């Protein structure tokens, strides 16, 4: 099989950070048959990948251009930055969007106050605190609705 960067098609997702979220996403995309390359600064982090993970695990600091070039970022259709550091995620997302013109870029942000700032740069942001509070609000609303109906 040809290495993916020799393929013309841009269908690789690069995930930055192999924590619980990154590993879970990498396992899911791989199971679905998608091309995945996951980067983490700590090689031990890759233990979270499933035995059937068929993508590439690359050790490196994703804030370094050298690491992103080694990951053949130009070939990526999407870059998802989900390290445990908002600044790292934003930096990687901005490099992916502005330097390499990657069409789909997503960054996880812990700090909800920073979320809206990045929309204007074309960077999608996922804020676990905001998503969780919306879901909890939905559940509470659904329970309240059921109790009223009784
Ligand atoms: P978690 O805390 O479970 O969300 O995991 C975050 C992951 O991001 C850890 O495995 C870290 O090693 C990884 N990480 C943090 N900073 C970087 C970075 N600059 N480059 C690559 N991986 C990183």
For the segment 44-87, what is each residue's pLDDT rounded down to a tens digit? 999 999 999 999 999 999 999 999 999 999 999 999 999 999 99
The pLDDT assigned to 143 comes to 86
What kind and span of H or E run contains 39? strand 35-40
CB atoms within 10 A of CB 129: 12
CA distance 98 to 30: 27
CA distance 132 to 108: 13
Q: Which residue stretches of the chain have pLDDT < 50?
A: 1
Helix, strand, coil percent content, the chain, rounded in steps of 5: 50, 20, 30
Q: Answer yes or no: pTM beyond 0.95.
A: no
Mean per-residue pLDDT over the chain, rounded: 91
The pLDDT assigned to 7 comes to 58
Distance 35 CA to ligand 1 centre (A): 20
User: Would you say 127 and 103 are in contact if contact means Cβ atoms under 8 Å apart?
Assistant: no
Among 15, 16, 17, name the best residue to mutate to test ligand 1's pocket (greatest count of ligand atoms within 8 A of Cβ): 17
Is the C-beta atom of 87 inside 6 A of ligand 1?
Answer: no
Q: Is 68 exposed, middle or buried (0-12, 13-18, 19+ CB in 10 A)?
A: buried
CA distance 150 to 132: 27
Is the C-beta atom of 17 inside 6 A of ligand 1?
Answer: yes
The pLDDT assigned to 1 comes to 45
User: Would you say 86 and 93 are in contact if contact means Cβ atoms under 8 Å apart?
Assistant: no
């Amino acid at each position: 099989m040809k290495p993916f960067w020799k393929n013309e098609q841009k269908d690789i997702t690069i995930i930055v950070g192999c924590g619980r979220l990154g590993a879970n996403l990498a396992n899911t995309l791989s199971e679905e048959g998608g091309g995945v390359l996951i980067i983490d600064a700590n090689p031990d982090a890759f233990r979270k990948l499933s035995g059937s993970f068929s993508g590439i695990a690359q050790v490196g600091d994703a804030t370094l251009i050298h690491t992103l070039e080694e990951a053949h970022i130009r070939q990526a259709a999407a870059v998802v930055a989900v390290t445990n550091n908002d600044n790292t995620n934003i930096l990687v997302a901005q490099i992916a969007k502005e330097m390499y013109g990657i069409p789909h870029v997503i960054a996880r942000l812990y700090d909800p106050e920073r979320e809206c700032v990045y929309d204007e740069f074309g960077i999608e942001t996922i804020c676990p605190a905001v998503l969780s509070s919306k879901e909890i609000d939905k559940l509470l609303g659904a329970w309240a609705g059921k109790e009223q109906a009784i």
